[in-house]
Amino acid sequence: MKRFISRPGAVGAAGPPDDQPGVTARPDDGRAITAEPDIGTAGRINGRPSPGRPRWRARAVPFWFLIPALALYGFVVIWPSLQGAAFSLTDWDGLSPTKDFVGLANFRELWSDDVARGAVRQTIIIAIAVTIIQNGFGLLLALGVNTQIRSRNLLRVLLFAPAVITPVITAFLWRHLLAPTGAVNDVLGAVGLGALQRDWLGNPDLALWSVVAVIVWQFAGLSMVIFLAGLQSIPREIYEAAAIDGTGPIRRFWYVVRPMLAPAITINLVLSMIGGLKLFDQVWVMTGGGPGRATETLSTLLYKEAFQFGAFGYSIALAIVLTAFVAVLASVQYGFLRRQEESAQ
């Protein structure tokens, strides 16, 4: 019987031509051989770029997509910030087309001004008080609703609800509730505690702490949600192992729960500290920085200097100091908490 042999380019050959990669041909002796594909074709078949193509081009593609976002960020954030830094070195009033260069006079005035120093002091007091009290209440609430009671979901919603209300609306509400003829004093009088009735926002000794109480009331639910997420991420087996070892609730929380809550603690402390340092809405609506300067913060002071007194250069200097203060303090706090978190793990 005759053998049919496939020849390259032959019409009616039994198999495909030899010049295609990966194709088997049969020579005269009947043995099967496999043609080797060229390097470029192999790269295309395997889905990998050929060695001759520069890899930096493929790696540079994502950066091309970043250019529009970076350009927008530079136009909206970087350029105005640089302009503001330049204006802080002038006596610009916000309206005049001319502005005289005064150097660092605005910054020197800031540190020598008793009002500015008082605003710095009150800002720090509010930030520290809000951070401690808000997170303390938030943690207690999270521990309380992290149970299997049937109404736990309703409680979580009710406790978190104030956090979704606009701060301005909250401040308006509490300004009327804490007025001398407001609901708070009415309730105190109705339950026989008339001796505790006060002018909560008109008393310099009480106004600052009244503002702190309102902020804690509004945002303790937010801290609760973050702590609750951390608590529910702890495996149930860890609680069971601690119970088998006979660990009491306090020791179980301190040595078992607290280390595993470190990420949630870090998030809550940083957020509440930054929010306290930048506080403006509640203070401005409830007290306007008063009575006197009792609740004046850096945010309310720079607003007054810019829009009431026309000292835009000085107010921008205040804004720069506030921004630097927030950035440095938040960075230090975050670094410390991250080290604590890593050591706990």
Question: What average pLDDT score do residues 181-207 get?
Answer: 94
With cut-offs at 50, 70 and 90, classify the pLDDT of residue 99.
confident
Tell the residue number behind the tokens 């310099």, with chain if given: 204
Weakest mean pLDDT among 44-58, 133-147, 190-204: 44-58
End-to-end Cα separation, the chain, in angstroms: 80
Between 342 and 121, the higher pLDDT residue: 121
Query: Sign of dihedral through CA atoms 183, 279, 263, 248?
Result: negative
Whether the per-residue pLDDT at 226 is higher than 90: the answer is yes
Mean pLDDT score of the chain: 84
Read off the pLDDT band of 23 (50, 70, 90): very low
With bands split at pLDDT 50, 70 and 90, how would you rate the model's confidence at 326? Answer: confident
Band (pLDDT 50/70/90 cuts) for residue 70 is: very high
Handedness of CA 161, 168, 181, 208 (dihedral sign): positive
Whole-number Å distance between alpha carbons of 229 and 25: 65
- In eight-state DSSP terms, residue 34 is E
**pLDDT at residue 341 greater than cutoff 60:** yes
Note the pLDDT of residue 279.
Answer: 92
Nearest to 133 by CA among 249, 258, 257, 269: 269
pLDDT at 45: 46
Q: How confident is the model at residue 54 (pLDDT cuts 50, 70, 90)?
A: low
Cis peptide preceding 49, ω within 30 of 0: no
Question: What local confidence, expressed as pLDDT, does residue 239 receive?
Answer: 82
What's the confidence (pLDDT) of residue 335? 84
Average pLDDT for residues 47-73, to the nearest whole number? 75
Provide the CA 209 distance to its chain's centre, in angstroms.
26
Q: Which domains does the chain have, with CATH numbers?
A: 105-344 (1.10.3720.10)
The share of the chain scoring above pLDDT 70, in percent, equals 83
**pLDDT band of 232, cuts 50, 70, 90:** very high
Amino acid identity for residue 298 in this structure? L
Q: Which residue has the higher pLDDT, 54 or 72?
A: 72
Band of pLDDT at residue 126, cut at 50, 70 and 90:
very high
Q: Give the residue with greater pLDDT, 30 vs 268.
A: 268
Q: Which two tokens stand for residue 1?
A: 């019987």
Cα–Cα nearest to 3, from 23, 28, 24: 28
User: In angstroms, how far is CA 226 from the centroid of its own chain?
Assistant: 12
pLDDT at residue 48, rounded to an integer: 54
Residue 53 scores a pLDDT above 80: no
What backbone torsions phi and psi does residue 340 show, to the nearest 5 degrees? Answer: -65, -40
Mean pLDDT of 139-143: 95
* pLDDT band at residue 304 under the 50/70/90 scheme: very high
Q: What is the pLDDT of residue 49?
A: 52
* Token pair of 305 as six digits: 């200097």
Section 31-48 average pLDDT: 50
Q: Which of 97, 303, 129, 101 is nearest to 208 (CA)?
A: 129
pLDDT at 261 over 70: yes
Averaged pLDDT, 124-138: 96
pLDDT in tens, 170-192: 999 999 999 999 999 999 999 99
Task: Give 285: exposed, middle or buried? Use CB within 10 Å, 0-12, 13-18, 19+.
Answer: middle
Confidence of residue 44 (pLDDT cuts 50, 70, 90): very low
